[in-house]
Structure 1
Amino acid sequence: MSVVDNISCCGLRFPPKPRIITCSSRVSCLHSSTTTLTNIRNSGVIACLRAKSADVALEAARAAITGGISVLEIVVSTSGVFEVLHQLVQDFPTTTLGVGTVLNPGDAQKAKNAGAKFIMSPAIVKDILDQDSEDLLYIPGVMTPTEILSSYNAGAKIVKVYPVSAVGGVQYIATLKKPFPHIPLVASQGITIDLVGEYIAHGASSVVLSDAIFDKEAMAQRNFSAVHQLARLAASKGYEAVER
């Protein structure tokens, strides 16, 4: 059975396909970290892509973006990650693109140079957090209340709760929002498309979807049509949840 055999599109309102535009001036293309944060919260979904080769990464990313994904991160372990990112920035200038699993300032700078609007880590990398940048949003990984508050007080505008499925899932996010209603939380790890609405309804500003969009079987078979359909469903769920 195909990975998309059970997807039903009935009743879903799909977001418009991304438009490719050109900027009339350098100023009009500037993209602040505040804008990036807004885009992440408005989309409800961050697609997380990891691939063994640059060509697979490019095709999978294109399938997801044309499927409606407006925020996408490429894991730094992906072959040719910065070249892939640079190409996607050229092809999809209105998409919010970033790099994930960034563990040191060197890779953070490479991501920025390639056009990333945000970077993510599975933990708090103090050397990155201390380098405040107006045009690059840093999303550190946290798990405990202490880590959440410490990151926020150190300047983080948003944090990633990871690994969320291992520490309580939706209920853990709901619990964290009680003392920290002012801190935007991204839920990450082990989340399926059907749970997007639940996470956002219980306080997550956005959720990270990895295998849920970039299905392992589909990626291995280079079945980018399946990726496109999964991305379309995920993007729709995200937009609907944010609107509610």
Structure 2
Amino acid sequence: MKEVRMIKDFKKLLKDFEPMVKDPDFLRTGRSITNFSLRPREAWANWLLCAVFRKLNGDEVTFSDDDKCDGIIIDRKTGQCVETEHVVAMNFPDRKKQLPKGEARIIEAINQKIQRGVDYAEGKFLVVFFDGTDLWYRNKVREAINGRHNFRAIYLVGHATSGQDGYVYTVTELHETFSVSYKVEISDDFTDFRVSEIRDNPMAKYKFIKYLINTMRWIAAKLICFGRRNRGS
């Protein structure tokens, strides 16, 4: 039987993730990590999920690899362990088919796992790792899958923004009657992180800010052109 490796130093692992997360192609297509049976995106999604769990339940929450699933979430304080199954909803540059935008991208990925049946899902967390959705609504995802699956819970882990100020991911847990989302902010040097609850749509605020910035740039460009025309007349 293969040895299961449990993560003990949570912040050290964050630093180890830095080159993987900053290389999107590797995060999409990378195979198992050395001495760890999970793919980079599976390990990273589990880390983000545990970051939220640790915010809610304390620092004894961690995860391990496993040769029968895509990682196990472990609460060392209570001894509770939950297996995870992952599905990816990302565009792969070498594939002709591009995924839909919005919540349709996430729902399509979840449906792939629902089709695997009851035995596959029973007692497990389903983790959807996604990007490229643009604006999406978590309540539409919840309503589309409500009552149709047998997973213990479904978590949506998505890339929101990245830049000089660091990386931001959202983690959304879907319940039968409501959903809750958290923001995981990671420093650019991957030495620190912060978790906070977000009550609005997990992507809307970032898209609105981006839209606002682009609008201001457009207005500024128009004013510059207008000023040049006036000076030339």
- In terms of fraction of residues, the more helix-rich structure is 1
Q: Which has the larger radius of gyration?
A: 2
TM over 0.5: no
Q: Normalising by the residue count of structure 1, what TM-score does the alignment of the two structures yield?
A: 0.34
Higher relative contact order (CA 8 A, sep 6+): 1
